[in-house]
Amino acid sequence: MKRLQLLVAIAGLALIVTACGGSTASTEPSGKPAGWLDAVGEGEGALNLIIWEGYAERGAVDPAYDWVTPFETATGCKVSTTSMTDSANGVQLLQSGEYDGGSFSGDASVRLMKAGDVAPVNVSLLSNYANVFSGLKDKAHNSLDGVPYGVPHGRGANVLMWNSDVVTTPPTSWDPVWEGGSAYKGKISVYDSSIYIADAAIHLMATQPALGITDPYQLNDAQFAAAIALLEAQRDNGAVYWGTAADQITSFASGDLVVGTTWQYQANMLASEPKVKIATTLPAEGSTGWSDTWMMATKAKHPNCMYLWMDHMMSAQANGQATVWFGEAPTSQAACDYAETISPGHCEQFHATDEAYFEKVWYWSTPQADCADADAATSCKDQDAWVEAWTTLRGN
C-alpha cells in the first residue's frame, strides 16, 4: 500500500512537471506572426475582455450609455469583462490565457508586445481605423517596428480631485497631496500602485530640478530615493490608498477623503452625488496619464469577435459614448462630433486635438533597468524594484 501511494505520487508529479514545461512559439509555420488575421470571419459568439472599469458599459448605470449591447446584437459576440486594478494586474490576467484581449495602458502594452502575448493587428481589416487621429497611430506604446499591435481607445491625464467644501481655494499644483498635505491629514487619496512613484517624480521635476529627472518612469538611484522619501512623507500624512475606482468614489462621497489623485471617471460619477461638491484640474507640473490601446491576445479563442470589437470601439458612436462616460479624449473627429451631441464641449474639455496639452502628460510606461535609452552608461530602477519599493512603502 505504501509503495503504491508513493508510485502514484511520483507519477502525478512527473505529469504535472511535464505539462508545465511547454514553450510558446512566436511564429506559425506559414511565416505569418502568431495571431495574424487575413480576413475577419463570422463572430465566434463570445468575447472575454480585460478592461479598465467603465470601458465596456451596457447601460447598467445609465441607460443612455450602452455600447456593448448594440455590439452584441450586431455581431452575436457575447461580451464578458474583468476589470484590472492596475496595469501589472492586466498583464498577469492576459498571461493567464483566459482572455481574448483588453484595453492596455503604455506600462502594460509594451511589455505585452515584447513578450509576444499580444498579436500584431491587420488594420486593413478595420474600416474605422482610417478615421483615427494620426497623432495616435504608430506610437511606441501601440506599435512595434512600425507594425500596429492594437487600436486606440482614448487618452487622458490623471487629475487632482478635491472636495470644494473643504479645499476652498482651487489648487493649481499637486502641493496639497505632497508638501501641503499636512493640512489634510488622513484625508488624502492616493492610487495604490507602484506606478504612482512616477507622480512623485513629476512633482520633483518641478520642485527639485537639481535631481535632473527627465523621464518620471526612468529614475536612477538618487532620483528614486528622493521620490520614495516624498511618498513616505505623504504616507505619514495619513494618505489613504484606493485600489479600485469604486473604492475612491465611496470615500469621497462620504466625505472621508477630500483631496487626491484620480481619473476623470470618478469625478464624473461623483457629479451626481448631492452631498459633496467635487472639482478637478490638471496641475501646473503636469501629470501621469494614459493612452489606452485595445489589443488582441496571441492565443485569443475568439479572434473574429476581437477584431469586430476593435473596429466597434473606433466607431463614432461607441468611442464617443465611451470617452464621454469615462472622461477622456476621443480618438477620431467623427467620435468627437458624436461626443458633442451627448456632452457639448467634450472634445475641448478633454483636449482631443490639443497636442500641447498632452505634452504635459507622461503616459504610463514601464520602468526599465537600461532607462529605456541607448546610453549604456546610465542605469535605472526596473519594474521589480518599483514594485518592491511600493510593497515596502505600503507594508510598514
Partner 1 sequence: MTLIRRLVQWFSRRPRAALSAQLAGPFGWILLIYLGSLFVLLLHAFWVKDSFTGKVEPFVWTLEAFGQVLGNPVYLTIALRTILIATLVTLTDALLALPIAYYMSRVASPRTRAILLVGITMPLWASYLVKVYAWRTILQGNGLLSWLLGPLGIDGPGLSEIWSTWLVLSYLWLPYMILPIFAGLERIPNSLLEASVDLGGSAGMTFRRVILPQLLPALAAGSIFTFSLSLGDYIVPDLVSDAKFIGNVIYDNSALGNFPVAAAFSILPVVIMLIYLLLARRAGAFESL
Contact residues: partner 1, CB under 8 A: 1, 4-5, 8-9, 12-13, 15-16, 20-21, 85, 88-89, 91-92, 95, 111, 114-115, 117, 186, 194, 238, 240-241, 243, 247, 250-251, 254-256, 366, 368-369, 382-384, 387-388, 391-392, 394-396
DSSP H or E run through 260: strand 259-262
Helix/strand/coil for 73:
helix
Give the nearest distance from C-beta 361 to partner 1 in angstroms: 24
Alpha carbon 247 to chain centroid, angstroms: 17
User: What's the rounded Cα separation, in Å, for the pair 167 and 137?
Assistant: 40
Q: Cell 512566436 belongs to which residue?
A: 26
Given the C-alpha cell 458599459, which residue does it identify?
57
The CB-of-56 to partner 1 minimum distance in angstroms stands at 20
Identity of the residue, 11 or 147, whose beta carbon is nearer to partner 1 in the bound complex:
11
Residue keyed to cell 492596455: 104
Provide the minimum distance between the beta carbon of 229 and partner 1 in the complex, in angstroms, as a whole number: 16
Which of residues 125 and 276 has its CB atom nearest to partner 1 in the complex? 276
- Sign of the alpha-carbon dihedral angle for 90, 94, 95, 98: positive
Label the pairing between strands 159-163 and 278-281.
Answer: antiparallel
Least Å from the CB of residue 169 to partner 1: 23
Give the end-to-end CA distance of the chain in Å, rounded to a whole number. Answer: 50
- Say if CB 308 and CB 291 are below 8 A apart: no
Grid coordinates in use for 293? 490601446
Among residues 125 and 385, whose Cβ is nearest to partner 1?
385
Q: Closer to partner 1 at the Cβ: 111 or 141?
A: 111
In terms of C-beta density within 10 A (0-12 exposed, 13-18 middle, 19 or more buried), how is residue 16 classed?
exposed
Ramachandran quadrant class, 159 (left: phi over 0; alpha: psi -120 to 50; beta: rest): beta
Closest CB to partner 1 among residues 72, 382: 382
Residue 18 vs 124, nearer CB to partner 1? 18
* Shortest separation between residue 66's beta carbon and partner 1, angstroms: 26
Helix (H) or strand (E) holding 148: strand 147-148
How many Cβ atoms are within 10 Å of 279's Cβ, its own excluded?
14
Least CB distance from residue 394 to partner 1, whole Å?
6
The smaller minimum CB distance to partner 1, of residues 378 and 391, is found at 391
Min CB(96)–partner 1 separation in Å: 11
Question: In this structure, what C-alpha cell is assigned to residue 141?
Answer: 506604446
Nine cell digits for residue 56: 465596456
Q: Which is nearer to partner 1, 44 or 192 (CB)?
A: 192
Query: Residue 20 Cβ, how far from partner 1 at the closest point, in Å?
Result: 6
Closer Cβ to partner 1, 137 or 394, answer by number: 394
Tell me how far, at minimum, the Cβ of 380 lies from partner 1, in Å.
12
> Strand pairing of 46-51 and 78-83?
parallel
CB hemisphere CA count around 157 (13 angstroms): 26
Least separation in angstroms between CB 241 and partner 1: 6
Per the DSSP assignment, residues forming a β-bridge with 147 are 144
Nearest-10 crossing angle of helices 197-207, 221-236: 100
Q: What is the largest distance, in Å, between two alpha-carbon atoms of the chain?
A: 78
List residues bridging with 293 in a β-sheet: 104, 152
In this complex, which beta carbon is closest to partner 1, that of residue 4 or of residue 60? Answer: 4
